[in-house]
Amino acid sequence: MYLWQIRHIPNCPQSLLKRAIFLAAFLASFVTGYPTTPCVYGQAVDAAKTPLEPAKNESAALEFLGQVRQELQKHQTVRADIVQNVSIAEQQFKVKGQYVSSGNPTSGMKLMLTYSVVPDQGARGEMLEVCDGKELWTMLTLPDSKRVTHRDVLQIQKAAAAANSRNLSESALSLELGLGGLTALLASLERTMDFDAMKQEEIEGQSRTIIQGRWKKEVIQRFPKEKEDLLPAFVPDLVRVYVNAENLFPTRILYLKRQSEKKTLKPLLSLEFQNVELNEPVSDDLFVFEIPKDVIPEDITKIYLDRLAPPATPPAAKK
């Protein structure tokens, strides 16, 4: 589910919880698709106040993002703790979890993602997603219900390849967000945003590179506009990617929202990675999903296949 396709955030805590989980899953954009210290969100606020100067070479930031994505694909395994702080209108919530990947999108990626959503008010919820490279299982656990869905990865990838051959890049992108992990998130940013600002900085003795992107014109035209020609409250205006200069791992992704009255930027979502382990042994047991005995899984493969299918040819008019 795209963040900018969500029309509103319901007031019902239970509905909000469901939205929060799916929203978090998209923005982390891992298996579906998406650290904690008390100062994480405060750092995000401070970062939003600091503008980035345009890059001297307009293509430098985009080229750097491509290098980061390519470097990610070289890692045999990635393991990290994650935390998202989300602020949309009056709704605030935090998402904690863990991300583990093995392999890459080309050779077949195995993924495991856990999420625990903690709203400021209302019920909590959890999500587990597991992919062994062939099947993707998602389990959403709410206080009064549990749902398990299944996707046939190989069928969907085959349909995505056919869609690409018809230049249906947006459909293919939707699939990558569903199956490609962190690498796919960076790829989607490359395709939908123009990266035109870049800077280096030192934080606690560590060097990092920050690049900033904004929506491409053809993308932003699809968004509904609100008063003062602003994008809806749930749609970010900018994204900043923070990259460890030593290993080119993207340690932080910050989505920013323009404030109409103050002419400033406010963090919409801050996604951070902590305790990152690269190329360390990972047990295949992590990518095995066991169906709970009290739940009947729902196969949603056809939904994705239908999205990627070519449009039906209208019948020829009778003469």
Residue 257 domain-assigned?
Answer: yes
The owner of tokens 């949309």 is 88
Identify the residue with better confidence: 161 or 278: 278
- Percentage of the chain exceeding pLDDT 70: 67
Predicted local distance difference test score (pLDDT) of residue 139 = 93
Read off the pTM: 0.75
Q: What is the CB-side half-sphere exposure of residue 71 using CA atoms within 13 A?
A: 15
What CATH code is carried by the domain that includes residue 139?
A: 2.50.20.10
Give the neighbor-by-neighbor strand order of the sheet with 206-215.
193-203, 206-215, 238-244, 250-259, 264-278, 77-88, 91-102, 110-119, 125-131, 135-142, 145-152, 298-299
Report the 10 Å Cβ neighbour count for 185: 25
Would you say residue 46 lies in a domain?
Answer: yes
In a domain, 4, yes or no: no
Tell me if 8 is assigned to some domain. no
Q: pLDDT tens digit string along 144-182? A: 889 999 999 888 878 877 776 655 544 444 444 455 678
Residue 313 belongs to a domain: no
Residue 297 lies in domain:
13-308
Number of independent structural domains in the chain: 1
CA 205 – CA 149 distance, rounded (Å): 44
Question: Is 6 contained in some domain?
Answer: no
Share of the chain above pLDDT 90, in %: 32
